[in-house]
Amino acid sequence: MIPNAFDYKTNRFYLKSSNVTFDLQLRGYKNIVGENSGTGKTLLYKTIENFKELEESGAAKYSVQNITALNRRADRKKLFEFLNVTENLIIIDNADHLLRGRQDVINQIIEDNNNVYLIFSRAVEFEISLNYYARFEKNSDGIITISYEFNQGGWF
């Protein structure tokens, strides 16, 4: 059996492909990454999509079965599908486009404590603590990690 790329119990996401490694220790149920282009957000989405194909063929090193990744306009139709899953990592790339005008979905995300969210957005506002706003960083080994902007006690 191959290991899961996302471990719900530890809130850790680890995925290594031939050209990139992600090692993300997530914080809480909602994690917002809102930074400039070229930092790895869409690369993460594409890497997961590639691993889904590899997993179907039996060639994957990591399982991404407990990960839902949304990116394209066509994925807007899938926005409510994640409400039927539990203990999954739900990645929403291009959230500014996918969630525009969808306060109903944003409210569902805020209320959902059965899944962990990694949301890539520059403009969508979530009523959550600033402790959950982060950015991707590439360390000296070329591994993409996550760094949180704040760590203030009492901010929920």
pLDDT tens digit sequence for 25-44: 999 899 989 877 777 888 89
Return all residues near 131 (Cβ < 8 A) that are at least 6 apart.
27, 28, 148, 149, 150, 151, 152, 155
Mean pLDDT over the full length of the chain: 85
6-148 CATH pick, 1.20.1070, 1.10.3470, 2.40.160, 3.40.50: 3.40.50
- Strand arrangement of the beta sheet that strand 133-138 belongs to: 6-7, 12-16, 21-25, 143-148, 133-138, 30-33, 116-120, 89-92, 67-70
**pLDDT band, residue 125 (cuts 50/70/90):** confident
- Tens-digit pLDDT profile for residues 85-116: 899 999 998 888 888 888 888 888 888 999 99
Q: Which amino acid type is present at position 84?
A: N
pLDDT for residue 90: 94
What percentage of the chain reaches a pLDDT higher than 90?
33
Question: Residue 129 pLDDT > 80, yes or no?
Answer: no
pLDDT for residue 116: 95
CA–CA separation, 64 and 85 (whole Å): 14
CA–CA separation, 71 and 51 (whole Å): 16
pLDDT for residue 154: 56
Would you say the pTM of this structure is higher than 0.85?
yes
CA–CA separation, 133 and 123 (whole Å): 12
pLDDT for residue 26: 96
What percentage of the chain reaches a pLDDT higher than 70?
90
Question: Residue 55 pLDDT > 80, yes or no?
Answer: yes
Phi, psi of 33 (to 5 degrees): -115, 115
CA–CA separation, 120 and 117 (whole Å): 10
**pLDDT band, residue 153 (cuts 50/70/90):** low
Sign of the dihedral through C-alpha 133, 153, 7, 68: negative
CA dihedral 62, 120, 113, 102 (to 10 degrees): -130
**pLDDT band, residue 152 (cuts 50/70/90):** low
pLDDT for residue 107: 87
Name the residue among 107, 57, 56 with its Cα closest to residue 79: 107
Beta bridge mates, 135 = 147
CA–CA separation, 101 and 16 (whole Å): 35
